[in-house]
Amino acid sequence: MAKALEKELKQPDEFVSFWTHFGQKLSRHKRSLIAVLAAGAVAGGAGYGVTAYRHSVAAKATVAFDRIERIAQADLLPEKAADKAAAKDEAKPEPKPEDDGLPHFKTEKERLEAANKEADTFLAQFGQTSLGRKVLFDKAGRLLVLGNAAEAANIYTSLIAGETDRDLRLLEQEGVAVAQEVEGKLDEALRGFASLADESQRGSKFYLDRALYAQARILEKQGKGKDAEKLLREILEKVPKTTLRSQIDDRLALLTEKK
């Protein structure tokens, strides 16, 4: 646009001539122009309405997403005192929890299931794109905790299929491998983590230590302690500043004791 304007300004005679003729046409067709402008205003208003609607949907989606997060992190209800007599002797009654407009649950399982139910409501209303992908990812993580590894793996796999961000794809690939490990498919999980380690080495390596550590964990489960120890020491060589240092040291100590 700027280049086109600059080109026109370099030819002032043509520029002035254009606007002169345009002005003359406006004066000859004033009534038609008003009708056109009115139609344009209506169209512009409709366009504004669509834009406002999209912003409204985005705002509603954000609020709905926040509700899922708050439910997933809500405090559990306190356990009832076993000794009611002791409770009566207390000088002050225990204050009631503040009403935050959220349901509260007795167990972690109930809380996770409620968060996933809320996630399903979100996905039904706003779809699985944009923020919906984050909702799906979080739901899969809760499914793993609940022991529903097969459904979690399916969600992670569906996310990988449409993932354009390399780092997020690594997280989703890890999810699939973890789900396989939970299901007891150790060979498949091992291959998944090995592939994850290879991809990490070709990139920023930010996931390399986690992928190798997961491999070592599975190898240890399979009774391959020497191979596990080798991988753990490989982490310390390739990622000396790993945040998994304490866990690695603990596992190495246990593996050394078993020799």
Q: How high is the pLDDT of residue 203? A: 72
According to CATH, the topology of domain 185-259 is: 1.25.40
Identify the DSSP state of 129.
Answer: S
Distances (CA, A) of 52 to 49, 57, 64, 120, 130: 5, 9, 18, 25, 18
Q: Which two tokens stand for residue 116?
A: 């996933």
| pTM of the model as a whole | 0.71
Long-range contacts of 230-237 (CB under 8 A, 24+ apart): 235/208, 235/209
Percent of the chain past pLDDT 70, that is, above it, reads 70
Q: How far apart are CA 251 and CA 166, in angstroms?
A: 30
User: pLDDT tens across 131-152, in order?
Assistant: 999 999 999 999 999 999 999 9
Three-class secondary structure of residue 52 per DSSP:
helix
Ordered alpha helix ranges (H), 127-259: 131-146, 149-161, 166-182, 186-202, 208-221, 225-238, 245-258
User: pLDDT tens across 149-193, in order?
Assistant: 999 999 999 999 999 998 899 999 999 999 999 999 999 999 999
Identify the DSSP state of 106.
Answer: S
The mean predicted confidence, pLDDT, of the chain is 80
